[in-house]
Structure 1
């Protein structure tokens, strides 16, 4: 009795030591994410109306642009690849969910076993008879079939936290897909308005070339009348040639933008239909920005970073549970016999087994410690990424708001400049014909008018792109 008590005490002491040592977890420092937002973007803007809530089909009114976006949301290769990543994340949730449920399987097996005569099993076999006057068959076969179960008891919520982390990562991938949709729509709209601007520049350049050709004919007539020299003719000819060469550069840029749109739509080539109206007559929509706190709900990248942070926190708990003992159970029930005619004999051929185990890491836990520290570092990294995403989102909206206001003032001044230069071309031509102005004044006035008109088109393009980027910065486009 004393000997049994001693053994029990030793066993109990070992278990205490096992739990005490195994449950020792290194201390690490976690980080709570904090990135407060201002109450408003500008002192005179307190309206909570937010155009990020507008569906993109209602935000963009150009039917050709809407058609391009519709096609891209179906055929864009990057978006389709992202959808597969979302599916894989969803499958991971299903796999993690099955880990903390019992695993039950059915199986059939057969084997043949011959043991040495001068072994313990061999001696037993040759001293016993299966039937009267018969020894054990040699070799002895074994047939069995039944149900088998294994189950890791989730005492420390390791498996459940792992499943929750996988679900958070899946939801983060869904938000990542939404952000990709937002970016894709903005990129298509940017390219579309850039294409309209190039068309307008090309049309403007061709109109200017026609004016210069008219001026060239006028100068040629004046030279024939000995009222000017051949130098003026050559200078006007050179100017026409320079602008005609510029036509081919613009046509190449148009092809490149068309190919970019075809790529975004997911096709090798596609005819890009677009509006043919006056580009500078377009007016960017007034975008209502609401208040900064609405970014937390509207921006998919912010929600993605938030979910990744939550997943990182859960992964710390999973890594921490690796230090604790794991509890497992195994069981089986079925039929077993050395001959098929006895296999289903009940209850003689019925077998069952039940086993439990406790396993805890004791020696060489460096890998577990490293995983735990990495999980903590990932949580800190995710916290910084979340804060950075919020700051970036606010600054993007603030920058586009300021740009929108400044471009409006710039466009008004550029438009006035273009009107003045149009008038100056007429005046310069009249003065030149009456010999009161030099041909260089006519030439430079036409050049200035062309450049001013080109800058005006570029400013209008920037206005349209700023409208699109502000809509994207607010989190619009994925709905």
Structure 2
């Protein structure tokens, strides 16, 4: 009869599980799109990809390499991210343990005194153990092992562990993405600092020219060949250049402090050789094919892993609709005297129990969690597709920028040469009274602006190469 009763119970539980399964909502979610164009606009297809080389090979300046090396060890934000990765790694261990049996050792001691004028007191008054009255107060001692285990029949716990692994891997890619950005940010700041040094040198040289011109104008005034107005205009131009020098010096201080912050150091001098700035070669960068972005870009890999984790989280939320099956058991020794604990089998106790729990009525909270999980999965799909599209556009824009900057630099270089020659010519003409002093001032100002613009363009070229290297997915390996 007992077997028949057990079979009936199992049959009922099976029917109930099927009924609960049939009531689970289902939502179809479209598959993510990861297609990219075959090439970047008019660029020819070439599988050679600069992103696959390490940043130590990409950068040739030993001073810059030393700064990046220091930053990878001492940058505070990167170290914070490293600890975040460790937290996700610990989550894997925690989730892995949840679908394994829990075994604990349990011990206890208690003393109880009941009133004699109660049912328990009356019963104890009439009992005798080994010819002795029931002890008063009553002591109870126990020691043993207890175990519990939730059977992961719907793979909920295993999916939680897999999701934790994906989140950990996503955090690793997030750290790699931070490294890529950190490398690029330090390189940008380093070249910005070198450009400021060159601008300061140009201002210093131009100031010398202006002071020489001012001397000439003063001599011309003494010889009654020009007016006080010309002297005042030249003096004002010298004063303006002096103020611009102080502004550049302040920018240099700020940029040095920014680099020191990035490398985790207190303010100090940044070692660099700015005299070679305009001669730094602009190396060619090979963009490869757009599909390689999926392999090289850490932000795309991070978004992909987060999408996979969101799919598992949706399955986990769906599993909450299904019944859970748990098993608990224990074995140990129990007696009212410590000396009797070792007497077996009299003091031996054990238990075994199973429980079957499933939601039937008022499942709104579970439904809401399931809907949220689906919404987050859809968000992850859009985030993944957006990241791919953004990566492609960034590379396409920077490739065009590099080509146009090359042309801009060539024209600005010619402009600087022409205006530099014009300074000497305008000064000679002014000395011989064949040119107005305004022409001298204008020529000097135009030459100064052209030289500074040439330095800016060189900086933009170097930064464009850095940005393209970053956009292709380089800098983290």
Q: Same fold (TM over 0.5)?
A: yes
Cα separation, 2, equivalents of 1:395 and 1:379:
24
CA distance in 2, matches of 1:277, 1:419: 19
Per the alignment, residue 131 of structure 1 pairs with 130
Equivalent residue runs for 1:1-400 within 5 Å = 16-17=15-16, 19-21=18-20, 24-117=23-116, 121-132=120-131, 134-400=132-398
CA distance in 2, matches of 1:319, 1:114: 49
Count of residues in correspondence between the two structures: 476
Q: For the Cα contact (< 8 Å) 1:22–1:361, is it kept in 2?
A: no
Quick check: 1:186–1:468 contact (8 Å CA) kept in 2?
Answer: yes
Deviation readout 1:46-67 (Å, 9 max, x if unpaired): 1111111111111111111111
Kept in 1, the 8 Å contact 2:409–2:458? The answer is: yes
What is the alpha-carbon distance in structure 1 between the residues aligned to residue 312 and residue 273 of structure 2?
Answer: 52
2-structure distance, mates of 1:7, 1:250:
88
Give secondary structure in 2 for the equivalent of 1:277.
helix
- Evaluate the alpha carbon distance shift between residue 68 and residue 5 of structure 1 in structure 2; reply closer, same or farther with a 3 A threshold: closer
TM-score by structure 2 length?
0.96
Report Cα offsets for 1:269-307 as digits up to 9, x if no partner. 232111132322222221111110111010000000000
Could you tell me how far apart the structure 2 residues matched to 1:445 and 1:252 are?
Answer: 27
- In 1, the alpha carbon distance for the partners of 2:18 and 2:335 equals 41
How far does the alpha carbon of each residue in 1:160-214 deviate from its partner, in whole angstroms, 9 at most, with x for none? 0000000000000000000000000000000000000000000001100000111
Q: Is the CA contact 1:22–1:362 (under 8 Å) kept in the aligned structure 2? A: no
Distance between the aligned counterparts of 1:345 and 1:10, measured in 2? Answer: 37
Q: Secondary structure at the match of 1:278?
A: helix
Q: Distance in 2 between matches of 1:240 and 1:463?
A: 31
Q: Which runs of 5+ in 2 are unaligned?
A: none
User: For structure 1, which segment, 391-400 or 32-41, has the greater mean C-alpha deviation from structure 2 after superposition?
Assistant: 32-41
Query: What is the CA–CA distance in structure 2 between the aligned matches of 1:28 and 1:348, rounded to whole Å?
Result: 58
Deviates further, 166-175 or 39-48 = 39-48
Inter-partner Cα distance in structure 2 for 1:276 and 1:77: 28
User: Relative to 1, partners in 2 of residues 1:381 and 1:44: Cα closer, same or farther, differing over 3 Å?
Assistant: closer
Displacement of 1:230 = 1.7
| Cα-to-partner distance string for 1:111-164 (whole Å, 9 max, x where unaligned) | 1233454666445433331121x2211221110111110000000000000000
Flag the 1:97–1:398 CA change in 2: closer, same or farther, 3 A.
same
Map Cα deviations across residues 11-45 of structure 1 (whole Å, 9 max, x no partner). 96587346514652122232311031011114442
Structure 2 Cα separation of the partners of residues 140 and 223 of structure 1: 120
SS state at 2:342 partner: coil
Partners of 2:257 and 2:124 in 1: CA distance: 83
Cα distance in 2, alignment partners of residues 289 and 331 from structure 1: 62
How far apart, in 2, do the equivalents of 1:307 and 1:426 lie?
Answer: 64
Distance in structure 2 (CA, Å) of the matches to 1:392 and 1:102? 46
Secondary structure at 1:35 match in 2: coil
TM-score by length of 1: 0.95
Aligned residue for 1:217, secondary structure, equals helix
CA distance in 2, matches of 1:76, 1:9: 66
Task: Report deviation, 1:470.
Answer: 0.4
| Residue pair 1:39, 1:292 contacting (<8 A) in 2 also | yes
Say if 1:7 and 1:122 are closer, same or farther in 2 by CA, change over 3 A: farther
C-alpha contact (below 8 Å) 2:72/2:78 kept by paired residues: yes
The farther-off stretch of 7-16 and 423-432 is 7-16
Distance 1:301 1:44, change over 3 A: closer
**RMSD over equivalenced CA pairs, Å:** 2.0
- CA distance in 2: counterparts of 1:95 and 1:19, whole angstroms: 31
Gaps of 5+ in 1: none
CA distance in 2, matches of 1:370, 1:159: 20
Query: Aligned with 2:104: secondary structure?
Result: strand
Tell me, yes or no, if the aligned pair for 1:151 and 1:330 is still in contact at 8 Å.
yes
Residue 404 of structure 1: how far off its partner (Å)? 0.2
Tell me by how many angstroms 1:324 deviates.
Answer: 0.4
